[in-house]
A and B are shown apart, each in its own frame.
Chain A
């Protein structure tokens, strides 16, 4: 593919597209980090959970509800679903080795993926998003309203979450349960329910990410698979136990791969993912905890 002449306008557009991609990765990466912090589990079903809730939103909108009416309903369903999954599937194996839990979340991913094919079929579906795709002029650079909307919603969500964790009693209990379960239990925090709550919040974050990305790509059961991988990469980049890192990592990754895919001819669109992973791998070798994470030092 011959490269078109370089223009600053196009460069700015690419950056904007990268930030939009990154905002989606950041949302899902945040979901991964929240579950990881509280339960030390990586949820491989996160992408499928997000797609599933997006399909529910699609069904509701198909019944004639508008997006903003369906939105809170879907979030409530996602929350309930996340809590239920933790209670039913994860709690029995809470103290099992990492591999057992990884396998259960993989099983959950397969199960949800199959269920989606059965209920909604494998075909691509158009998902009408809340924002128009019309472009507006931002300082001489045309950017679509949809991209701006996605970024604004994602940032608002992250801010809301930060306020929740910082200023509410429940947020404090959640953090306490993640840092030191035993002491929090002694202090009267119901640790088990805090973990379930963490899964619920993660499911909500995933649902938002799903509903934001669905208008950009088509909605199908495998919609989130590559996105989930980028989100993993973003979470690892920022450090698996740092929420702020997940957001920074997501946006950094989104911009980097968009630019690499556009301006490095050899990489193009096929090698984006391998290159992204290679970069993450190199980073991990230099900083094993990611950009903002800490490497746990244990006394043996």
Chain B
């Protein structure tokens, strides 16, 4: 066990070093792309706690991201009682607001299992974009709200993109650490017990209500933070910034990353970003195959590639990148010969 702990800590330190040094080797625009990957990573961490650890399916996490994003937008543009709030300070507030929304969803979720929960959360994802349209004087309608462009604070001498990169990944690493501490402790064990058998968990004294609602709240908190950062990086929010399909993409990322593998989720987050923005590249690769000629710029290519990747991954590597990672690292984290 101690061996495994040191491997995990070593991995975390290595990750921190890579994150800190990466902007030196890539251009300014790449830093921005990596920052957005970091935001998806944060959202996926939350989703992993919910789906991977407590076993509750959510197809509505895009809505929690949207809640976070809108909170940031309202606080910076309209302000709190007329005092605009600095974008930096809105990030935790956005997380808390989304977290409270998550707790509220978590309460009815207690009585719904598996597919019912998937359907209801999917419903949340689909209905959320209607709200800004209905309450347009407050939420900005379909045009949305325009935020001030993010600027490095305290006279820091970096570009905006680098600043957003460091902000996002700084938060992401802290939240990764929190998630890791959470799932390896008492709470994580309780959640896993609930996932594997609710009846058995309840009979051994785990409060289903408390832990399932808690998982929803925490995971929505993560999504809210991600959404807030996304709004700051984009400098505007409207219903199209957080489309319905975002919720589906998050589940895709989770599945590809591995449901209960925290580091594997980085791969999932990268895949979400890559397929959303560079699906035409995949189409170009595919054109090297014989008997295929796709027009990379055609709309729909990205959906086809997304869908196909999803199905192939689920059929071939159901445990995702995390599962592969675990298999590779297994010999490193266990002793070959144990004293018994």
Contacts and interface: CB of A to CB of B under 8 A. Distances in A.
B199 A107 contact: no
Contacts of B315: 89, 92-93, 104
B303 interface: yes
Interface in A83-115: 89, 92-93, 96, 98-100, 102-104, 106-115
A106 B130 contact: no
Contacts of B111: 284-285, 288
Nearest to B309: A107
Interface in B300-326: 300-311, 314-315, 318
A111 B115 contact: no
Nearest to A96: B318
Contact of A114 (B112, B134, B306): B306
Contacts of A274: 127, 130-131
A175 to B, nearest CB: 21
Interface stretch (A17-25, A176-184, A229-237, A250-258): A229-237
Contacts of B244: 225
A111 B311 contact: yes
A100 B126 CA distance: 21
Given A117-B300, A281-B108, A284-B116, A226 B126 contact: yes
Given A103-B255, A111-B311, A114-B306, A273 B300 contact: no
A115 to B, nearest CB: 6
B127 A273 contact: yes
B177 to A, nearest CB: 26
B241 interface: no
A36 B114 CA distance: 13
A260 to B, nearest CB: 14
B166 interface: no
A255 B311 CA distance: 37
A93 B310 CA distance: 14
B200 interface: yes
A270 B122 contact: no
A57 to B, nearest CB: 20
Contacts of A102: 57, 59, 115, 118, 251
Name B's interface SS. Answer: helix
A116 B300 contact: yes
Secondary structure of the A contact surface, majority rule: helix
Interface residues of A, number: 47
A253 to B, nearest CB: 13
Given A89-B311, A108-B307, A277 B127 contact: yes
A210 B127 CA distance: 22
Given A229-B122, A273-B126, A274-B127, A118 B300 contact: yes
Contact of B200 (A225, A240, A300): A300
Contacts of B309: 107
Interface in A258-279: 268, 270-271, 273-274, 277
A33 B248 CA distance: 22
Interface string A235-248: 01000100000000
B179 interface: no
B200 A114 contact: no
Interface in A198-233: 221, 225-226, 229, 232-233
Interface of A: 36, 42, 44, 89, 92-93, 96, 98-100, 102-104, 106-118, 122, 221, 225-226, 229, 232-233, 236, 240, 268, 270-271, 273-274, 277, 280-281, 284-285, 288, 300
Interface of B: 51, 57, 59, 108, 111-112, 114-116, 118-120, 122-124, 126-127, 130-131, 133-134, 197, 199-200, 244, 248, 251-252, 255, 259, 298-311, 314-315, 318
